[in-house]
Amino acid sequence: MSDHHPTAYVPKSAFGKWFESRLPIAGLIHSSFIAFPVPRNLTYFWTFGAILVFMLASQIVTGVFLAMYYTPHADMAFQSVEHIMRDVNYGWLIRYLHANGASMFFIAVYIHIFRNFYYGSYKAPREVLYILGVIIFLLMMATAFLGYVLPWGQMSYWGATVITNLFSAVPVIGDTVVSFLWGGYSVGNPTLNRFFSLHFLLPFMIAGVVVLHIWALHVPGQNNPTGVPIKSGKDAVPFTPYATIKDLFAVSVFLIFFAWWVFYIPNYLGHADNYIPANPSVTPAHIVPEWYFLPFYAILRAIPDKLGGVIAMIAAILIWCFMPWLDTSKVRSTAYRPTYKIFFWVFVAVCIFLGWLGAKPAEGWYVVASQIATAYYFAHFLIVLPVLGFIERPLPLPSSILESVMGVQKGGAGMPAGAAASPPTQG
């Protein structure tokens, strides 16, 4: 072993010892982000966790600065955004970072989610970790929706009207819930005020669940492209420096992608209508949500009944929570599931197709196509996942990560022996 990685944190200074015996936070950081054993064969798909942490931080920082200049009032919100864009020093930069940052956040989260689907990361023993992730995604959707209302443009106003109206489909209490959301009898100033308040609150709730998500990750450790758990120290490397530097590199690449949108096509992902101030007496020709909601919007509109549509849309996400039990296959990684691999890519295509349909008007063959795609979407979870586990013959799994990536005989240096065998169970 040429390289020595200490696995347990030992404070060096007297103050360090004194402090550690009272609050062992340095030890927690050390075991979570320095000594933590990481499978050595992780691909760049595993860097999106770090990218997402970066994006959350970026959204909170830019958002806090925007809130210093933004005015949450129906008569002044639009103007205050234009004030930020025109008169505040680098206000345009902060706002474009924040607006495009939301889309970057969703691009990263969708890659993260589909990586999880492909490699079976949701399966035992990572069910809680995974369900926490679904909760983060739901909170992200709520936050993004609330945030899009704040500039108080036409699409803000009408998007808020359409989405809040969905709650009226709930039997008995629906109308009361809607008035409560609006703070009145239509979307108006009270709505904007409470949406601003909640838009400020939710990201911190996301940050809280992210802490739980990372905590839950550190109990079973990370999944990897083979789906085979770490069996010996040679299968793993310490988080720092190996994963740290790889994550930093990936974040930097992602930032180039991010910068392209912010500096060159900052309004591409927005709607032109949102540069028109909100006008309750003029309805835009097409009310379309942001791109990241489109597949769910297509599912909503595919069901002819309002309540049914709302239930289908919510179920489309909540069904994710049941995947660990709906998927009956014992094999995690799709790399060893030749039949499921085909179904996985068909599912990806169906999701993209639903997204495209969500941007189209609900008329003609688009409606039928949405219904077929929605049916397939649910069939993937309710039929393909349970049935395939019984009938598919998976390929032989490697006996270890090392065997898969290097061949047994070659084996290089990895974690010091014993480090991976006892994953940290702090907390």
Partner 1 sequence: MMKRTILLAAALVGLSGPALAAGETPTPPQLSWSWQGPFGKFDRAQLQRGFKVYREVCASCHGLTYVSFRNLAQPGGPEFSEAQVRALAAEYKIQDGPNEAGDMFERPGRPADRFPAPFPNENAAAAANGGKAPPDLSLMPKARTFERGFPFFVLDVFRQYSENGSDYLAALLKGYKEPPAGFEVPPGGHYNEYYPGNIIAMPNPMSDGQVEYPKLENGQPQAPETVDQYARDVTAFLMWTAEPHLEARKELGFKVIVFLLLLTGLLYFTKKKIWARIGGEVEGHATPPMTHNP
Q: Look at residues 313, 144, 139, 295 and name the one whose alpha carbon lies nearest to residue 213.
A: 139
Q: List alpha helices for 219-337, DSSP H.
A: 244-264, 294-302, 306-318, 323-326
**Which positions ≥6 away from 147 have C-beta within 8 Å?**
63, 102, 199
How many CA atoms lie within 13 Å of 379's alpha carbon, on the beta-carbon side?
10
Pair 352, 359: CB distance under 8 Å: no
Q: Look at residues 178, 169, 172, 182 and name the one whose alpha carbon lies nearest to residue 74.
A: 182
Considering the complex, state which of residue 99 and residue 310 has its C-beta at the smaller distance from partner 1. 99
Tell me how far apart the alpha carbons of residues 59 and 271 are, in angstroms, rounded to a whole number. Answer: 20
**At closest approach, how far in Å is the CB of 209 from partner 1?**
29
Considering the complex, state which of residue 180 and residue 268 has its C-beta at the smaller distance from partner 1. 268
**At closest approach, how far in Å is the CB of 371 from partner 1?**
21
Beta-bridged to residue 236, according to DSSP, are 39
Pair 310, 166: CB distance under 8 Å: yes
Considering the complex, state which of residue 225 and residue 309 has its C-beta at the smaller distance from partner 1. 225
**At closest approach, how far in Å is the CB of 349 from partner 1?**
15
Q: Look at residues 139, 147, 105, 142 and name the one whose alpha carbon lies nearest to residue 208.
A: 139
**At closest approach, how far in Å is the CB of 335 from partner 1?**
5
**At closest approach, how far in Å is the CB of 310 from partner 1?**
28
Q: Look at residues 291, 356, 256 and name the one whose alpha carbon lies nearest to residue 144.
A: 291
DSSP symbol at 229: P
Considering the complex, state which of residue 40 and residue 126 has its C-beta at the smaller distance from partner 1. 40
Residues interacting with partner 1, by CB under 8 A?
2-3, 40-44, 79, 82, 85-86, 92-93, 96, 225-226, 237, 241-242, 245-246, 248-249, 252-253, 255-256, 259-260, 262-268, 272-273, 275-276, 285, 333, 335-336, 338, 393-398, 404-407, 412-414
**At closest approach, how far in Å is the CB of 199 from partner 1?**
23
Considering the complex, state which of residue 27 and residue 266 has its C-beta at the smaller distance from partner 1. 266
Considering the complex, state which of residue 82 and residue 127 has its C-beta at the smaller distance from partner 1. 82
Distances in Å between the Cα of 269 and the Cα atoms of 6, 265, 289, 416, 421 are: 47, 8, 11, 47, 46
**At closest approach, how far in Å is the CB of 90 from partner 1?**
9
Pair 203, 146: CB distance under 8 Å: no
Considering the complex, state which of residue 188 and residue 266 has its C-beta at the smaller distance from partner 1. 266
**At closest approach, how far in Å is the CB of 252 from partner 1?**
4
CA 71 from chain centre, in angstroms, equals: 29
DSSP symbol at 239: I
Considering the complex, state which of residue 243 and residue 313 has its C-beta at the smaller distance from partner 1. 243
**At closest approach, how far in Å is the CB of 171 from partner 1?**
38
**At closest approach, how far in Å is the CB of 259 from partner 1?**
5
**At closest approach, how far in Å is the CB of 396 from partner 1?**
5
Considering the complex, state which of residue 40 and residue 112 has its C-beta at the smaller distance from partner 1. 40
Considering the complex, state which of residue 225 and residue 324 has its C-beta at the smaller distance from partner 1. 225
- Sign of the Cα torsion 243, 245, 250, 252 reads positive
Tell me how far apart the alpha carbons of residues 330 and 393 are, in angstroms, rounded to a whole number. Answer: 11
Tell me how far apart the alpha carbons of residues 230 and 228 are, in angstroms, rounded to a whole number. Answer: 7
Considering the complex, state which of residue 187 and residue 262 has its C-beta at the smaller distance from partner 1. 262
CA 250 from chain centre, in angstroms, equals: 17
Pair 94, 66: CB distance under 8 Å: yes
Pair 209, 128: CB distance under 8 Å: no
Rg (CA), the chain: 24
Tell me how far apart the alpha carbons of residues 156 and 222 are, in angstroms, rounded to a whole number. Answer: 39
